[in-house]
Amino acid sequence: MDYRIPHVDRRGFMRAVLGGVAVRAAGQSAPVAVRPLGGGLFLLTGAGANVVVGTGEGGVAMVDGGTAERSRALLAAAAALPGGGPVHTLFNTHWHPDQTGANRAVGPSGARIVAHENTRLWLTTDVARPWEDRTFPALPEDALPNDTFYETYRTRVGGQRVECGYMLQAHTDGDIYVFFPEENVLVAGGVVSSDDWPLVDWWTGGWINGMVDGIRTLLDLCDDDTRIVPASGPLMARADLEAQLAMYGEISQRLRAIMYSGLSPADAVAERLTETYAARLGGDADFFIRRAFESMWGHFTPDA
């Protein structure tokens, strides 16, 4: 795949950014939308996932990288921002392809790729999950995270402080948040979404109660003015996180009761546990319930 960044007219791009509209890079079939967040931070959408870009001296820092198919458009949009340029730092909030699609594009150039160590390990192996007929291939060595941590990580990008932390066994076993305290912007990764039911990826170490704990971790970082960037969907506020904590906490308790009654994932789906919350999230609630129920097996089922 050719990852060369196409030409984008910077003056036209900035008119579009300030106007809050989408920008189409040359040769790309769909636009990348740009929303300024202040302090050299921008939210880019339309690349397969929400991406936060920080600009400043030396180029661009990027939190998550969208899909590989959209990486050319994403990198072009990031390069054309004020203070933009090549990506020198990329944060992977977890291993999923919607977050790591730019790794192949920026890794060979020597960019720092920051992630939890478990995320790096998943990216070194082919992943085939039992509920889907596909395999996610391992990334090449030069596209893997090269700066990993286990609990917390701090750095500076573009003059801004950046604080990262681990959310233990949340929706995978490598979830991290990325917090910009000076602008009060918190990138939450796949632990939360505002437009769909999340994937409880128990095959790679996630589970429903870990997601609940992850949301509690995020709430500890927030105040009423924090702008929270989910993996997908519109920006969230602290009140939205509090609502999701209550929702997933209740669903988890009910799923545990169903499991202890000796019932199956199909039985859990039939209980229609998400009907009360149907107006909040779209997508496939049945898929979410099945994966959430299955995620409890290794935690609550007695050893044989």
Which pLDDT score is estimated for 215?
A: 98
CATH class of 10-300: alpha beta
* Beta sheet of 41-45, edge-to-edge order: 22-23, 32-38, 41-45, 51-56, 59-63, 87-91, 112-116, 147-149
Model pTM score? 0.89
The predicted pLDDT at position 139 comes to 98
Query: Residue 93: which of 157, 164, 35 has the closest Cα?
Result: 164
Query: Do residues 127 and 100 touch, judged by C-beta distance below 8 A?
Result: no
How far is residue 89's CA from residue 101's CA, in Å, rounded to a whole number? Answer: 14
Report the SS3 class of residue 54: strand
**pLDDT tens for the 304 residues of the chain, in order:** 333 333 344 444 444 444 444 555 444 457 899 999 998 999 999 999 999 999 987 789 999 999 999 999 999 999 999 989 999 999 999 999 999 999 999 999 999 999 999 999 999 999 999 999 999 999 999 999 999 999 999 999 877 899 999 999 999 999 999 999 999 999 999 999 898 899 999 999 999 999 999 999 999 999 999 999 999 999 999 999 999 999 999 999 999 999 999 999 999 999 999 988 876 777 789 999 999 999 999 898 765 4
Domain boundaries, the chain: 10-300
CB 55 within 8 A of CB 79: no
What pLDDT, on the 0 to 100 scale, is given for residue 24? 53
What is the pLDDT, as a whole number, of residue 7? 38
Query: How does 259-291 read in b/e, with b if 16+ C-beta sit within 10 Å?
Result: beeeeebeebbeeebbeebeeebeeebbebbbb
One-letter amino acid of 35: R
- 111: Cβ contacts below 8 Å, ≥ 6 apart: 86, 87, 88, 89, 90
